[in-house]
Amino acid sequence: MARSYWNQLTDNKKASFRFHHVSTDEVYGDLDETVFFTEETAYDPSSPYSASKASSDHLVRAWHRTYGFPVVITNCSNNYGSHQFPEKLIPLVTLNALEGKPLPIYGNGQQIRDWLHVDDHARALRLVLETGKNAETYNIGGHNEKTNLEVVKTICSLLDKLVPYSPYKPHEQLITYVTDRPGHDVRYTIDADKINNDLGWRALETFESGIEKTINWYLNNSEWCKHVQDGSYQRERLGTDTGEVE
């Protein structure tokens, strides 16, 4: 559909047209402790889920190479922030802890992710769309590597402080370890030097500043949280039997 729209444009409008494909760091697969994902990292997805994302990246590049379709691609690290669906780790743990429910963590909780605040990601997306070079890929990361266990313990500590009269303090006592999920990569982390150097983008939120803003948002927006959960979804992991996600 996008190519059909592009073909109908005048030459002047074609010159300013850009298809921005938003992807993820999962396409690169598992990473050892010494390196970072760059735009040159070979794709090596570990699960059908991440393989489907990798295939979409390949399809976009093929449209550019075959038809000259103008594209930019971005691969981002784990996003977090307000309005995130409560299947995801940070809202799930926050809402479960407030209700005294278990805080499920896959395996030993040592899976490492690079956490990127959604506002920083949104700024980067707009910048790449407006100023990124045609057919280029840009990795977007927050330079905030944390294990899943560190993230959960941080949330528990913040809730202990922000909800001092909670009957479930210390919230860390609610942590529960569950069987790891198949194909679960141990470490993802982004080298964002290209977008830093070429386009001048920098993440403005540290994990410490971003996570406190995020937890406060959920505490102050209980009605929104209730509304998105008043149907069939009850914080279960979609497609599996467990409730924790990365």
Across 98-152, where does the E strand assignment appear? 103-106, 112-117, 137-140, 145-147
Token pair for residue 55? 């295939």
Q: Which residues are catalytic?
A: 25-26, 49
CA proximity to 171, closest of 150, 153, 161, 156: 156
Residues pairing with 138 in the sheet:
74
Q: At what angle do helices 148-162 and 89-98 cross, to 10 degrees?
A: 40
Note whether 104 and 178 are within 8 A (CB). yes
Contacts with 42 (C-beta within 8 Å, 6 or more apart), sequence order: 28
Across the chain, where does the E strand assignment appear? 19-24, 71-76, 78-80, 103-106, 112-117, 137-140, 145-147, 175-178
Contacts with 222 (C-beta within 8 Å, 6 or more apart), sequence order: none
